[in-house]
Amino acid sequence: MVPRVVFGNGSFLQLGEILMPKRKNSEAPFIFFIDAIFEEHSLLTEIPLLFNDQIIFISSEEEPKTKQIDVLVAKIKESFSELPSGIIGIGGGTLLDIAKAVAIMLTNSGSAADYQGWDLVKKPAIYHVGIPTISGTGAEVSRTTVLMGPEKKLGINSDFTPFDQVLLDPNLTQGVPKEQWFYTGMDCYIHCIESLTGTFLNAFSQSYGEKALELCKEVYLGAPSPKESRDKLMMASWHGGMSIAYSQVGVAHAMSYGLSYLLGVRHGIGNCLVFQHLEEFYPEGVSVFKEMQRRHHIKLPTGICAHLTAEEFDIMINVSFGLVPLWENALGENWKEIMTREKLLSLFKKI
Ligand code: NAD
Ligand code: ZN
């Protein structure tokens, strides 16, 4: 679990104070990975830079790749005589995952691709801080960092992955475009449905999942003020992430990873594209999802898989079936009898 967390509108201003005791010496910088959309933003004037601290802007147009992590780690090692005092990620799931992965790879040898899987990381990461600017993924609280590797899209799941410190300032999520707010928020909603209906469910996951689901409904079906909505969605994301930390996601995520691997479809929208067709597995969840979609006038694109070849469908199916724990959670031990290749193919063809 994340051992330290600060919550509050305006809490971003406390970052300098939080980092100060973690500074090793003037040669060991803090490296700030910030979403490139903030390049011209007033937020930058609040970044507490000292000595040789560095800001690295990264575009979240594409989701993080193992190669990209390797390059960033090599660059940091080349540029400084000492390991950094810490890594700070500021942005959505993409930037948070980059910060976690770089912090791990600064102390572990080889390529990030070597650690995709469960509990493969040997050494503790360097100090790392997560500051979300959009709510929903739960990446701020999870024990994984999801990366696209040469062979698979899979997380580095380990006890060293979670942030040492998270700063939750809902003000930072002002300005997220409506569609993106919906897609990333629905990632949280889908985490709740997949966790709460899964066979891995336990009292720990259920307690967080139920709270997150209640908050998602208040945000997307109620009439909160913009400030309430930002506060609630940030806490929904946190609880949703906590819920899957001790259970698993399910069918929508397994399929969305396949879409993302082949077509580069991003996580939030990918989950929505899949989830709308999963009535058979999540009847109530899908019907509420569609109500939320109507309420906010969200039109999902169609024809995404219309022109794919049989080989391309095969690739998506293989990536998707590779995520065994997700299928086991969703459909139980005998999942292969329920979700056959033909059935999965027919679902992908609907998208
Ligand atoms: P993202 O980080 O890709 O950001 C989505 C878009 O929102 C980007 O265009 C970004 O620039 C923009 N944005 C972010 N903050 C903004 C702000 N304050 N104002 C305006 N625009 C803003 O999206 P995401 O949905 O948060 O994250 C998706 C990524 O998270 C995927 O790579 C996925 O694999 C990963 N993920 C990780 C976990 C985990 O547990 N580690 C869980 C779920 C998803
Ligand atoms: Zn997700």
Any alpha helices (H) in the chain, and if so which ranges? 15-19, 66-79, 93-105, 178-196, 203-221, 226-245, 251-263, 267-275, 283-295, 310-321, 324-331, 335-338, 341-350
Task: Read off the pLDDT of each residue in 36-58 and give the average, rounded to a whole number.
Answer: 96
Residue 184 Cβ < 6 Å to ligand 1: yes
- Which residues does 222 contact at the CB level (< 8 Å), separation at least 6? none
Answer yes or no: is pLDDT of 153 > 90: no
Most informative mutation of 46, 58, 137, 171 for ligand 1 (most atoms within 8 A of CB): 137
Compute the distance from residue 49 Cα to the ligand 1 centre, in Å. 24
pLDDT, one tens digit per residue, over 176-195 is: 999 999 999 999 999 999 99
- Which ligand number lies closest to the CA of residue 97? 1
Is the CB of 149 within 6 Å of ligand 1? no
Beginning with the edge strand found earlier in the chain, give each strand of the sheet holding 86-91 in spatial order: 4-7, 165-168, 128-132, 86-91, 30-35, 54-58
What spacing in Å lies between the alpha carbon of 253 and ligand 2's midpoint? Answer: 6
Per cent of the chain over pLDDT 70 is 100
**Ligand 1 within 6 A of 158 CB?**
no
Helices (H), 203-298: 203-221, 226-245, 251-263, 267-275, 283-295
Q: What is the pLDDT of residues 255-275, one digit of tens each?
A: 999 999 999 999 999 999 999
Answer for the pair 120, 156: CB distance below 8 angstroms, yes or no: yes
Ligand 1 atom 8: the closest Cα is on which residue? 60
263: closest CA among 296, 233, 301, 232?
301
Question: Would the CB of 145 count as within 6 Å of ligand 1?
Answer: yes
pLDDT in tens, 223-266: 999 999 999 999 999 999 999 999 999 999 999 999 999 999 99
Q: What residues contact 325, with CB distance under 8 A and at least 6 apart?
A: 248
User: pLDDT for 85-120, tens place per residue?
Assistant: 999 999 999 999 999 999 999 999 999 999 999 999
